[in-house]
Amino acid sequence: MKKLKLLHRHILALENKEDVDLTAMLWQLICYSPKMPPRLQQQQLLDEAEKFTLPVDDPHFAKSVLNFNGFIWGDGSKKVLITHGWGSKAIDFDEVITGLKAIDDIQIIAFDAPGNGSSEGELSNLILFAKAAEATISRYGAPDVMIGHSLGAMANVIAINETNIKPALQISIAPLIKLKENFKATMNAAEVPVSAQENFFESFRELFELDASYFDINSKHITGALKHWLAFDREDRVSPYIYLQEFLSVNPETITHEYFELGHERIIKDAGVVGDIVGLVKAV
C-alpha cells in the first residue's frame, strides 16, 4: 500500500504534467496491487487450510507462467469458490469463510490471484484473475456456488462464460461493472491530464490488443448461474451505482440486496452481509 500511495502523491505533485510521459508510471498506478500481510487471526485460518499451487500464463506483464496459491477448507460435496477483489487476497474473506465452515458437507476454495497476496507476479489484471478462477475450476471441478467481490465478481462472470459451467448460485458483492471508468477514476484522483490518460489507453490497446472499454460486464454477462444474487451499497464510490443500474437493466433476473453505509471494502466484513451469504449458500 505504501508504494501505491507514494506513486499517487508523486504523480499528483508533478509540475507540467502535459510535458511528461506518464505512461510507465500509470501502468504501475493502475496495475500494481497492494499486498498486505494477513493478520494473526487470518493466518490461523490459513494454517487450517489445505494448500495448492497452480500455474497461469501471463503473456502481457511477466511474459511467463506465474504460480498462484490457493486454499481449501473442508472436503464436502457442496463446493464454494471465492474470488477476492483488487488489492486484496483470499483470506480477506475470513469472516465469510468462517461462517461457511459451519455448514455441513461443504468445501470452500479460495485463491490469491496472480500479483496479489502470496502469489507470484508484480502487476496484475482482470484477465489473470479470471484465468486463476478457470484454472481452479479445471483442477477441482465446477463449484455449486461462486462468490466474488469487486474485480473478483467481474472475473467470475468471465470464468463462468469461458468454462460453460452452471453454478446453482452466483454471489456478486459490490461488483465492478466498467473497468475503463475505474481506470479513469484512479487517474483523475491523481490529476492526470486527459492527454496522458489517452496515451495510457493507447498503450493498453497495443499491449492487450483490446480497448479497455471491452471489459464491461454489461456486454459480457451471460446467465450461466441458475441464480445470481448481488449485494451493493449505492454510496459505493469505487463501483458507482449508476453503472450498476445499467447492469441491472440488462440483467433484470439478478436478485439484489442493498446495504447501507458499508462502502466498497467493508461490505465483505459486515456481519449482516456475511449472515446473508451463509444463509444463501446453506439453502443451495
Return the biggest CA–CA distance within the chain: 61
Is-above-0.75 flag for pTM?
yes
DSSP assignment letter at 86: T
Domains and CATH numbers, the chain: 1-32+180-214 (no CATH), 38-178+215-282 (3.40.50.1820)
User: In this predicted structure, what is the pLDDT of residue 24?
Assistant: 96
**CA-to-CA dists, residue 184 to 16, 163, 188, 238, 258, angstroms:** 20, 30, 6, 11, 26
What is the rounded distance in angstroms from the CA atom of residue 246 to the CA atom of residue 30?
24
Q: Torsions phi, psi of 53, nearest 5?
A: -135, 135
Which helix (H) or strand (E) covers residue 80, if one does?
strand 78-83
What's the grid cell of residue 173? 458483492
Amino acid at 73: W
Q: What angle do CA 176, 84, 5 make, to 5 degrees?
A: 75
User: In this predicted structure, what is the pLDDT of residue 69?
Assistant: 98
Question: What is the pLDDT tens value at each position of the chain, 284 positions in all?
Answer: 678 889 999 999 998 888 889 999 999 999 999 889 999 999 999 999 999 999 999 999 999 999 999 999 999 999 999 999 999 999 999 999 999 999 999 999 999 999 999 999 999 999 999 999 999 999 999 999 999 999 999 999 999 999 999 999 999 999 999 999 999 999 999 999 999 999 999 999 999 999 999 999 887 666 666 899 999 999 999 999 999 999 999 888 999 999 999 999 999 999 999 999 999 999 99
